[in-house]
Structure formats: structure tokens, C-alpha cells
Amino acid sequence: MSQSTTRASSAPKASASGLTRVYLLAYNVVSFCLWATCVVRGAMLVLSLAPTGHLPAIFHHIYFPLLTTTQTLAGLEILHSLLGIVRAPVVTTAMQVASRLLLVWGVMYLFHDRGDGHGGIVGGDFHESLPYGPGAKVGDYAFLGCLGRGVWGRGVPSWWTWLRYNTFYVLYPIGISSECIMVWQALKPAAEWNPLYWWFLVVVLVIYVPGSYILYTHMIAQRRKVMKKKGRAE
């Protein structure tokens, strides 16, 4: 499901070794730089292409190799969780990472130039989701990098923590809606490409309903836990 707002934390466990902490810090910094590049590149393209009415062309400028590399790298978060070097639950981490990999490789890669309208099935939804998906991930990885490094002496500023654990109320519904729309638009070209893949995407859409609820309630529980801890500290 929408990884733009879910919390597959790459923050190390308290018992993590020094080498593990260095690795996770490097991972978060690299991920931050890649997602930030996606956002900055996208913003520049919006400003330059909007006057010409060629916004769907943004996809072709960002997708490969920038977005594919950035999103595929996130697959390591499942491994981090499996190995127990981060606090994130394996199931929710796998759900959110898998959904984004499906979009990047199973929808965008296969059908980006097919479907109705300019830019194929990812024409409008792609550039509209840039502020919510990559934009949110920039904040996430910057947050985790600061958390792992102990920047500002005491970790992450309280206002940043508040933003990270409250903005998902708005960002998650927007992100999940964009994902569902893209998968829905891929159904027709998927049926033409392979009927079995059409059924696979139908099953994915059905799973999105309970899956979204599970992730959303998980985020609410995480928010409650963090805000309660923050309140006691203050």
C-alpha cells in the first residue's frame, strides 16, 4: 500500500551494533538523496512543462533510472525487518514495499505507454502524486537519518516528529487512491497482454481494501504510541 505515508521505519533498534547503525544511517542518507532528487527534478519539470501542456512527459524524465532505482532500493527494508535490525514489523513493511514495487515494475514498466489519454495510464496520476509520495519519503528518510545520527544533540525536533506522525491522515488516502487508480487503469492493457495478469491485478485491488485498513490502523497505533511517549517526555 501507499509507502508515501506509511512508516516502515529504518531506525535501528536500541541494541543494534555500531556497524549496523552506520549502515542504516548510510541507507537513510542515500534514500533521502534519491527521493529528494525525484522531488526536485519533478518540480523543475512541472514548472517548465506546465505552460506547454506537456505534464505527462514528466514520467519519461523521472521513471528510469531514477525512480526505478530509488524504489527498488526500498526493497532492502523488508530484509532489514526480517533480520531484526530495525523496529518495523515484517508484515506491514512487506505490504507497503510490495505495493510500491508492483506499481513501479508491474504497472508503470509494463503499461506506461498504454491506456487512454496522454501519457498512458500513468499520465496524470504520476505527476499529481509527486508531492505526496516522493515528497513524504524525503521527510521520512531525513527524519530517520537524524534519528540515527542524533542531530541537534537530542535527536529529531519535536515539530518534525509531530508532522511525521500526523500528516499521514491526509497523505495516506491521497496516496492509496492514486495507487488504486493506476492499477485500475492497468486492467485493460493487462487483459490484452495476459488474462492471468488481469486476474492478478483484480486480486490486488481486492486486497487493497483490507490491506489499506490494516496499514492505516497500524499508523494510527504508531502515532498514539509516539505521541504518548512524547507527552510524557515533555
CB-hemisphere CA count at 13 Å for 4? 24
DSSP 121: G
Residue type, 125: D
Burial grade of 223 (CB within 10 A; 0-12, 13-18, 19 or more)? middle
What pLDDT digit, counting tens, does each position of 10-29 carry?
566 655 678 888 898 889 88
The verdict on pTM exceeding 0.85 is: no
Assigned domain for 2 exists: no
pLDDT over threshold 50, residue 116: no
What percentage of the chain has pLDDT greater than the value 90? 21
Which residues make Cβ contacts (< 8 Å) with residue 15, sequence separation at least 6? Answer: none
Do 17 and 226 form a contact (C-beta atoms < 8 A)? no
pLDDT over threshold 70, residue 130: no
Assigned domain for 51 exists: yes
User: Strand pairing partners for 229?
Assistant: none
67/59 Cα distance (integer angstroms): 9
pLDDT at position 117: 43
pLDDT at position 118: 43
pLDDT at position 195: 96
Catalytic option among 165, 172, 197, 208: 172
Assigned domain for 13 exists: no
Task: State the average pLDDT over residues 147-151.
Answer: 51
What Cα–Cα distance (Å) separates residue 184 from each residue in 60, 132, 205?
A: 21, 19, 8
Specify whether 172 is catalytic.
Answer: yes
pLDDT over threshold 80, residue 163: no
Site of grid cell 519535536: 158
Sign of the Cα torsion 94, 96, 97, 102 reads positive
Site of grid cell 509516539: 226
Peptide bond before 65: cis, by omega within 30 degrees of 0?
A: yes
> Into how many domains does the chain fold?
1
Assigned domain for 70 exists: yes
Task: Residue 148: give the domain boundaries.
Answer: 18-233
Catalytic option among 109, 179, 192, 197: 179
What pLDDT digit, counting tens, does each position of 169-203 carry?
887 888 888 888 889 989 999 999 999 999 999 99
Assigned domain for 1 exists: no
The 3-state secondary structure of 88-118, one letter per residue: CCHHHHHHHHHHHHHHHHHHHHHHCCCCCCC
DSSP 12: B
Assigned domain for 11 exists: no
156/17 Cα distance (integer angstroms): 21
Assigned domain for 189 exists: yes
Q: What is the mean pLDDT of the chain?
A: 78
E strands along the chain, which residues?
none
Assigned domain for 228 exists: yes
